[in-house]
Amino acid sequence: MKNRYPSCGGFFDLDSLKKQVIELSQLSESQDFWQDQQNAKKVMQKKSQLEGEIVKFSKAESDFADVKSMLQLAEEENDEALILETENEIKKLRDHMNEYQLESFFCGEADQNDCYLEVHAGAGGTEAQDWAQMLLRMYSRWAEDHRYSIELIEESVGEEAGIKSSTIKISGAKAYGWLKRESGVHRLVRISPFDSNARRHTSFASIGIYPAIDDSINIEINDNDLRIDTYRASGAGGQHVNKTESAIRITHIPTGVVVQCQTDRSQHRNKATAFEMLRSRLYELELRKKEEQNNSVDKNEIGWGRQIRSYVMQPYQMVKDLRTGFEKGNISAVLDGEIDEFLRSSISEIAQV
């Protein structure tokens, strides 16, 4: 196995990575390194990211060598059990390398970053709000299965069930790279548990994904372009949250972007988080303009025209991505967070363009 693999149309040099890690390690050992803690944190994050790539590649090389040895031994011994075990290991290695190859296309400026995930219920009251909560659970389960951390930023609960909207932050390596194609409208067809006549209903909810960014990316925001409102937080949080106007809503007037935060009892900290989210949203809008792939969701048009995926529970069971054509019949597993195949097919599609 060569020490190079394709990345964003070029090649990824393992020796160069190791050299960068050494340089960053030397930089971190300088006496004044921690005087600028913000910059030091960025350096250490970069070092950790590069080390992770090296470990991943080295493990792939080691696994390949092990499988090669197993196969040679199995053929020499004509051991059917060992041959079967070797075939299973080859499949695991192939799946691992396929995912590794997909990650090599995460060459966007923010693809390595954490991300924010927003869900908004479409028209339809309780039925749509329940569907929005089901989607939030699906992505939360996916994040947990991949050992990402989840932070609730804001949530507006429905009157009877479900949620009107919610925002969470998903933190972990390449979170934005993996999820960025999930933005769009998701459609559910099922027999409604809220309909006493057991009729089939169609519900819509929108998902928005945007990257968490740091100060290394300059986003200019004019204070005159902002409207800042405070309000009492809803949902979990105890008496303090409900009695004080600690929640923050910021509207960026030129773009119409609205961000909200009620995760903390401190209005000051909520405001800081909301500004961080606003910078991320504005950055994502610029990214989409540059890529000429403006997939942002109009929350006033959460319906047929903007669908990316359909989830059908009755009269048959099927989840289908309307962009790639990939489909899966086990809808329960999908709603329980097993969406990797949909993510891979979506990333593969843009990688082939």
172 and 80 in a common domain? no
Is 222 a member of any domain? yes
Q: Are 154 and 165 in contact (CB under 8 A)?
A: yes
166 and 280 in a common domain? yes
Q: What CA–CA distance (Å, rounded) separates 252 from 223?
A: 9
Average pLDDT of span 288-317: 68
Encode pLDDT of 139-152 as tens digits.
999 999 999 999 99
36 and 132 in a common domain? no
**CATH number (domain holding residue 208):** 3.30.70.1660
Is 109 a member of any domain? no
Where does a domain end: 55, 74, 103? 103
Average pLDDT, the chain: 83
Contacts 24+ apart (CB under 8 A), 143-146: 143/170, 143/172, 143/175, 143/337, 144/337, 145/337, 146/172
Tokens representing 117 are 């995930």
Q: What CA–CA distance (Å, rounded) separates 259 from 253?
A: 12
Q: What CA–CA distance (Å, rounded) separates 55 from 18?
A: 11
pLDDT computed for residue 351 by the predictor: 58
**Would residue 254 be called left, alpha or beta, if left means φ above 0 and alpha means ψ between -120 and 50 degrees?**
alpha
Cα of 22 vs its chain's centroid, Å: 30
176 and 70 in a common domain? no
Closest to 253 in 3D by CA, of 218, 229, 231, 286: 229
204 and 89 in a common domain? no
DSSP 60-108: HHHHHHHHHHHHHHHHHHT-HHHHHHHHHHHHHHHHHHHHHHHHTT--S
Q: Are 308 and 208 in contact (CB under 8 A)?
A: no
Where does a domain end: 46, 80, 103? 103
pLDDT computed for residue 216 by the predictor: 66
DSSP 196-231: TT--EEEEEEEEEEEE---TTS-----GGGEEEEEE
* Phi, psi for residue 226 in degrees, rounded to 5: -110, 145
Instruction: Identify the helix (H) or strand (E) that includes residue 325.
Output: none
72 and 205 in a common domain? no
Where does a domain end: 103, 130, 145? 103
pLDDT computed for residue 182 by the predictor: 95
Tokens representing 172 are 């972990």
Burial of 116 (0-12, 13-18, 19+ CB in 10 A): buried
114: confidence class by pLDDT, cuts 50, 70, 90: very high
13: confidence class by pLDDT, cuts 50, 70, 90: low
Tokens representing 222 are 């004019």
Name the least confident of 80-89, 112-121, 233-242, 336-345.
233-242
98 and 121 in a common domain? no
292: confidence class by pLDDT, cuts 50, 70, 90: low
What is the span of the domain harbouring residue 227?
115-351
